[in-house]
Amino acid sequence: MQVSQVLILARKHLGGGTMESSARLCLSDAVALADDGKLEDAKVRALKSLAYSVGIIHPDYTKAAA
C-alpha cells in the first residue's frame, strides 16, 4: 500500500479513543516525514498511528502493513 493510502487510513481512524493523542502525534510525524520525502519512515509512523487508534489486528492495519 502506498504511503498516501496509509496516511488516509490513519486519518480516518482518529476519533476519540484512549490513545488518540499518541495516534495524532504519530500521524503528524508521518505527514512531516512524507513532506520531506522520507516515505518509508512516513509509512512506519503512519502504521504506528493506526496501531494506536485501531490496534494491530484490525483489518485496515493488516492491509496497510502488507
Domain ranges for the chain: 3-65
Per-residue pLDDT, 17: 75
Instruction: Dihedral sign for Cα 43, 9, 4, 62, please.
Output: positive
At 64, list the grid cell. Answer: 496497510
Read off the pTM: 0.92
In tens, the pLDDT along 2-54 reads: 999 999 999 999 987 788 999 999 999 999 999 999 999 999 999 999 999 99
Distances 33 to 4, 16, 21, 37 between C-alpha atoms, Å? 12, 24, 18, 6
